[in-house]
Amino acid sequence: MKYQRILLKLSGEALMGVNSYGIDPKRIKEYAQEIKQLHLKGVEIAIVIGGGNIFRGMAGSNDGVDRVQADYMGMLATVMNGLALQSALENEEVPTRLQTALKIEAVAEPYIKRKAVRHLEKNRVVIFSAGTGNPFFTTDSAAVLRAIEINADVILKGTRVDGIYTEDPEKNKAAIKFDTLSFEEVLKRGLKVMDTTAFTLSQENKLPIIVFDMNTQGNLSKVVNGENIGTRVDL
């Protein structure tokens, strides 16, 4: 395998599957099976999931909820998704640990870097939830921060499209896909890979990002094996 320790970033919306909200049991089972294949090959896997399938802080604040309160509600949504993925992985007999940036000891360990790294070394899948534990930061920022802290080799951003395009391919069929991009090119072209804070943090720490289609069976293993899947953003 090309990458030994990865940080997999999944959006909350990815868990909806064919539904318009919530968690699709079929989709989360498929993800668990994909992750299991990597786990069996000895890859150290950390995961960050968004919460947009349940509650999105920005949307909540636009509807009149205090922004700070809305962001904390979004963090709790990521904990729910983390619990769901943990259950799906354990059903596949994959050992996991759920860590949260907020103290909820009844359902998850508090995030401790050394403990997380030790879990990874013992070949346990570690799920990081509740973002950074602070309002005004997205789960993209949490993914990059955790990846840097655990010394991940790469951030794999699993989406429902197969890479980064000149435009949204779901809106414009003529959009052109990139195989590789530099951080500077992404900024110059104004392409939306991650929010600016997360992207800048990744660039400063020379941490590559690969955007790929998580919903195509086998893609996750292919990306980790170094195959030309999705779009790679690097220096």
Residue located via tokens 């802080």 = 57
Give the model confidence (pLDDT) of 101-120 as tens digits: 999 999 999 999 999 999 99
| Rounded Cα–Cα distance for residues 27 and 12 (Å) | 12
CB 27 within 8 A of CB 84: no
DSSP string, 222-233: HHHTT---SEEE
Q: What percent of the chain has pLDDT over 70?
A: 97
Burial class (CB in 10 A: 0-12, 13-18, 19+), 128: buried
| Rounded Cα–Cα distance for residues 165 and 175 (Å) | 6
The residues near 174 (Cβ < 8 Å, ≥ 6 apart) are: 167
pTM for this model (two decimals): 0.94
For residue 78, which of 48, 104, 119 has the smallest C-alpha distance? 48
pLDDT at 58: 65
Give the model confidence (pLDDT) of 24-54 as tens digits: 999 999 999 999 999 999 999 999 999 999 9
Domains defined for the chain, CATH in brackets: 5-234 (3.40.1160.10)
- What are the backbone angles phi and psi of residue 97, rounded to the nearest 5°? -135, 135
pLDDT at 105: 93
Q: Given pLDDT bands bounded at 50, 70 and 90, which one contains residue 202?
A: very high
pLDDT at 32: 97
The answer for 167, left when phi > 0, alpha when psi is -120 to 50, beta otherwise, is beta
